[in-house]
Amino acid sequence: MASLLNTLMVLMNYAGGQQVNGVTYFTPLDQVTAKVELVIPAENLVEEFHVTYDRALNLVKYEYSLDPKVPPFKTAHTFKSICDYNTGLAYHMDQSTGTCVVNAFDGNADNSTTTSTRSLLKMLAPEQLFSVKSMMKFINKDKARGISSDSWSLDVSNFYISGYGAVKTRQTLHTLSLNTTKFYRGTARPAIMLQRSIAVLDGRANASTTPVVVLNYFDFFSPATPQIFDFNILSCQPSTSPATSSRGGGQAAEAREEIQLKFSGRLPAAGYSEGEGVEVTTFRRQAWMEFARAAGVSPLRSIGNFWSHDDWNTYFTTVLLPSSPANGSAGTAVQRTADAVEELSEAVEAGGVTVVSGGVTLVAVDLRRNVSLMSSTKGEKAVDVFAVYKAHTTIVGMGVRATVQKLSTKQCTERCHRENSFVCQSAATCGYGDCILSALHGDELLKPSESGASLLANHSHCAVWSRVWTNEYVRVTASVFPEMEPEMTADFAEKEETCAKQCSFPNEEGTDCESFTWCPRASLTPGTKRSPCSLYKHHVFDLSPATAPVDGASTDVLTNSQTLCHYYTRNYLIDFEVLENTALADQQLFETMDVEIRQDFNGGWLCAKACIEKLGDENCHSIEICRDDESYKNRCRISAAFVPLGKRDGAASDRLNLTLPQSDCRVHSRVRYLDGSPVTQRTASNPKVSKVGKRSELSAISVVDGYTGGEMAAMALGMVVIGGVVVALMLIVSKRALPAADVAFARFR
């Protein structure tokens, strides 16, 4: 009762000279960050340290700028030291040079009159910096550094001071002043420290109370809810590969282990948007500590701590670092990686790994080792022939054609692009390295499978990418006449790219698709039978204004500007690369024609199309386009001659033999066949080996819910004809990464 009255009197500011117990008056600090100014008057030393402490993890981090020599002084080098009280090891990292020193931080710190960096860090141990475990005598209300404070006096034994060792001290502590003008009946609060002055007591009654050390606290912060602080020691890990390095006694070096724990169930507040709430932070921190406990390792060896979830499970993915070669001082054996994983696996099998967050207990039910945080670069882009189809989503069930682990976003989409066992149309990339490949394109995945099962599922840290096919086409202004009908439609299409894919991969034998129209659903009249995606067998240059209805027969002309529809026609020029100011040598020419190209001089679609149609896919290897200012036409010449563009031996001389310099001409050299396989000197010389495409396999790729031409006969929408072809709104010739030599797929029929 007396202790309670003393505490109340202190709070009421009536208790000068009265004592309270620091353990009950102030709550322990579970986590704290602060900038600490260390002043040693006798050595004219003033140094700053940023200190981060986590009591539950038993870790403390110091960030400072000191020279490692004695005495310390300011330097351009910045340092980070992390002390692991679980093992007794300290990791000292030079942030400027990237070097790291690992040693024990026990009582061997310098007790002489000199001051070393090591002894300064020991003096700043969290138990000395932030704890108040003795009886405190309230002095008065005061100011410390101009801030209203409560002033206390306390005697602390075995307090370590550099140059003195562990001694008995008398300290004056200034804490942020509480609002004590009214009676306070709340619970104990954390001690928000402002200043700590420390004098050494030598046992004499009249001992000097002049402080030998002064600690000033700035930016003092103790979070109300736990946070995840950065205690990363990755720079202290050896760069030598496990296969070539060894430890003392011939023992092979350990490798990093990337591990994922699957917890059955999910957090109540977990969603699929960006950001991380308190429940997720709590889960990550608790899973981090539980992982370390079950594996028998220090939390310092677990980095990354990546959280994700789907509709059924919650996942914790982390990187387990190898044990340190240094010997600690905590008296505990250092667990090697293989032993730690085995111990963790046994704990998971026994149901002994649990996490409580958001009022829910999650139990780990599985452990995976084929994951990777190191290869999954945050914010990394896919290769340029893929675009995000749906975020926070993955591919499941019958939509999965193949799964590969430990790939980044770029690596996964490259793998899909170069897949040679099937035509890969989509890929799901996940933050922990999973790469899921599918033969179905975006909107095809959105449709349920034949059994009714979904092909897409929610996932917080996955995204689905689909192939970009509109770069195979050019968008032009056109008019739509209702008398003509499309070859097919794809009513299920929700996006332009799906319509382009259906045109590039028609599903019926003998069906050709040279162009398509895309009309966003918002532009369609409610109740209309018009399809958002209509596929046509005619190319824009197969048509002429003479084929358009006359005498008012076409009264319902729909233009792009009126309907928001876009007309795309195939761009054959995409398979050619240009040599400017160059013409083909006459002896290499196959055929010459004049073409009235209704676009600027940089065009060439019609010439490329004519080359493929007249010479055949296997024999069309180059085209030449020259400007004819008198006729306002371009002269197109097509050839079977292969003009090498690479840097191989002899390529430059071959190019000189096949071409001539000419300022008003340009040569386009073919680099890909229609099936996507590369054009080389070998394939050009022996056309039989060039057709390695898998055209027969593509017959299985279907247009979901499509209509045939006969089924569309009654519909009032038809084929697209050109009424005065205008300059292309854009020439989409997106440069694709070339597929590997063994990659072949039929893009067009």
Half-sphere exposure of 397 (CA within 13 A, CB side): 15
Nearest Cα to 281, choosing from 348, 355, 344, 202? 355
For 148-175, how does the pLDDT look when each residue is reduced to its tens digit (9 = 90+)?
889 999 999 989 988 888 889 999 999 9
Q: What is the mean pLDDT of the chain?
A: 77
For 397-420, how does the pLDDT look when each residue is reduced to its tens digit (9 = 90+)?
999 999 999 999 999 999 998 888
311's tokens: 């509709």
Q: Taking the alpha carbons of 22, 28, 34, 35 in that order, is the dihedral positive or negative?
A: positive
* Structure confidence at residue 125 (pLDDT): 92
Q: Phi, psi (5° rounding) for residue 117? A: -60, -40
388's tokens: 């995000």
Nearest Cα to 340, choosing from 249, 432, 251, 257? 257
| Strand order through the sheet with 558-559 | 558-559, 479-480, 720-721
Max Cα-Cα span within the chain: 121
pLDDT higher than threshold 90 for residue 605: no
Identify the structural domains of the chain with CATH numbers, from first to last: 2-221 (2.50.20), 255-368 (3.30.70), 386-467 (3.50.4.10), 470-749 (no CATH)
DSSP state of 252: B
Please give the residue that has the higher pLDDT: either 8 or 192.
Answer: 192
Gap between the Cα atoms of 101 and 61, Å rounded: 15
For the chain, the residue count is 749
- Residues 416-431, buried b or exposed e (16+ Cβ, 10 A)? bbebeebbbbbbbbbb
For 311-333, how does the pLDDT look when each residue is reduced to its tens digit (9 = 90+)?
999 999 999 999 876 655 544 55
Instruction: Say which amino acid occupies 496.
Output: E
Dihedral, CA atoms, 43, 47, 52, 53, nearest 10 degrees? 10
Dihedral, CA atoms, 80, 86, 88, 91, nearest 10 degrees? -20
User: Rg for the chain (alpha carbons), in Å?
Assistant: 37
DSSP letters of 343-375? Answer: HHHHHHHTT--EEEETTEEEEEEEEE-S--STT
Place of tokens 């006096």: 153
pLDDT higher than threshold 50 for residue 727: no
Which whole-number Å values give the CA distances from 276 to 272, 299, 306, 309, 312, in the listed order? 10, 21, 12, 12, 19
For 477-529, how does the pLDDT look when each residue is reduced to its tens digit (9 = 90+)?
655 555 567 888 888 888 889 999 999 887 655 567 888 988 887 667 666 66
Q: Looking at 210-256, which runs of residues are DSSP E strands?
A: 213-221
- Mean pLDDT lowest for which of 402-411, 460-469, 687-696? 687-696
* Structure confidence at residue 710 (pLDDT): 34
Nearest Cα to 475, choosing from 669, 102, 725? 725
Beta bridge partners of 566: 518
